[in-house]
A = this chain, B = another copy of it.
Amino acid sequence: MKKLLLLTFAAAVASQFCLAQTNEPADDWKPATSNQPGKQFPQVNSEGRVRARIVAPQAQSVVLEFLGGAKYPLTKGDDGAWIGSTRPQDEGFHYYQLVIDGAGVPDPGSMYFYGGGRWGSGVEIPAEDQDVYALKNVPHGQLRDVFYFSKTSNSNRHCVVYTPPDYDRDTSRRFPVLYLQHGMGEDETGWGNQGHANLIMDNLLAEGKTKPFIIVMENGGGMGGPRRGVAAAGATPAGATNSTPAPGGRGMFNFSAFERVLIDDLIPWVDSTYRTMADQPNRAMAGLSMGGMQTRAITLANLDKFSNIGVFSGGSIALTNITDLAAFKQKIKLVFVSYGSREVDPNRRSDTGRGPFGGDPQANTEALKQAGINSHYYVSPKTAHEWQSWRRSLHQFAPLLFQD
């Protein structure tokens, strides 16, 4: 008996030891690429862990909290600095904040991004395919901060416009336009700052893999939603770590005000300001999460305005959504639907009881294809309802655009 106890004890020690060994983070920390210039923290390691540090000598507690809720308490050192690391995170971009004695604040080490209804911290986990959005020595397009006056909202509205590298050099040339929308709790800055849409396009163009086109990013949530500061209660903000979009679909959103801004004000302003190809065959719309829902609702109601459609983590288009299939087949040249794998994995879905709404996106997209519509379905490996899924979606989507 005594021997057995001893063995059990030894096994327990060994198992503890092994646990400690396997839980020890790899000691190859580097400052995150999403940090402010010169800031050493937060750091990331080769396992995708995040290590935060902040000097707060009088604090009682400091916690690193991801948007979506995962919390990691930091530990105070003798130097008055709190430090701690997280479990391995998915590749790509995650919103987070520090909570110091109950106050949720941005990490002074990170750059700031608009998401979750606030400007706040984000951290970049290196990804296998980060070359896709790396800053390279290739011709660069421009991201333009623009104000335009909207009669519908009777206000100056702000948007961001990407023009391809050739735009300023060859002033005789005209370009197609993609209207590209952010998610709930985000704004018109998201696709540039978090999404690196400009770098994705610059790199694709340098490799000759896409046609050049203009991208217009508007604050489509700004009609009364997230632009007021906080995401609507009960719904999941875009980019929440390890979460999926709230069920319900477009019924819980009203996009008619934004539809009017887009159709009556923004498109005419863009077509009169930029050298666009101002017709339906050369106009696309896409968006992520809520922006995908907007895209579905607005394109289906305006087949004479858009010919190419992209819905990223925002549902899909079922045959039953299409009123006039013949008209749709004639006018729509591309339907692209995508999700992060963690959103559509039934095992992951069963954890939360949530998944893509409006039916199985793959089956819906396959049905469109069977009906003769140029349709594509893409799943981003090992990512959730977050920006890495959407960067990859744009990277897959862009080469398919304006091919007809």
Task: Give the interface of A toward B (CB within 8 A).
Answer: 36-39, 54-62, 80, 97-98, 100-108, 111-112, 117-120, 135-137, 140, 142-149, 156, 161, 168-169, 171, 187, 192, 198, 227-230, 273-275
With a cutoff of 8 Å between Cβ atoms, the chain B residues found around residue A161 in the complex are: 142
Alpha-carbon gap, A179 to B144, bound state (A): 18
Alpha-carbon gap, A183 to B120, bound state (A): 25
Contact B101 A56 (CB under 8 A): yes
Shortest A230–chain B CB gap in Å is: 6
What are some 20 contacts across the A-B interface (CB < 8 A)?
A37-B228, A38-B117, A38-B228, A56-B100, A57-B102, A58-B101, A60-B60, A62-B103, A100-B100, A103-B108, A106-B112, A135-B147, A142-B161, A143-B145, A144-B144, A144-B145, A145-B145, A145-B192, A168-B275, A169-B273
Alpha-carbon gap, A135 to B146, bound state (A): 12
With a cutoff of 8 Å between Cβ atoms, the chain B residues found around residue A169 in the complex are: 273
Contact B100 A168 (CB under 8 A): no
With a cutoff of 8 Å between Cβ atoms, the chain B residues found around residue A62 in the complex are: 103
Query: Across the two chains, which residue of chain B brings its CB closest to A193?
Result: B145
Alpha-carbon gap, A137 to B150, bound state (A): 10
Shortest A143–chain B CB gap in Å is: 4
Residue with the greatest number of chain B CB neighbours at <10 A, chosen from A36, A143, A187, A198:
A36
Contact A108 B108 (CB under 8 A): no
Shortest A33–chain B CB gap in Å is: 14
Contact B108 A137 (CB under 8 A): no
Known: A54-B103, A58-B61. 9 other contacts (CB 8 A): A55-B103, A56-B101, A100-B100, A100-B105, A103-B108, A105-B105, A106-B108, A135-B147, A143-B145
Contact B102 A55 (CB under 8 A): yes
**Given contacts A118-B36, A140-B147, A169-B273, A101 and B101 within 8 Å (CB-CB):** yes
With a cutoff of 8 Å between Cβ atoms, the chain B residues found around residue A39 in the complex are: 118, 229
With a cutoff of 8 Å between Cβ atoms, the chain B residues found around residue A57 in the complex are: 101-102
Alpha-carbon gap, A97 to B148, bound state (A): 33
Query: Across the two chains, which residue of chain B brings its CB closest to A38?
Result: B229
Contact of A58 among B60, B98, B136 (CB under 8 A): B60
Alpha-carbon gap, A230 to B136, bound state (A): 26
Contact of A144 among B55, B143, B149 (CB under 8 A): B143
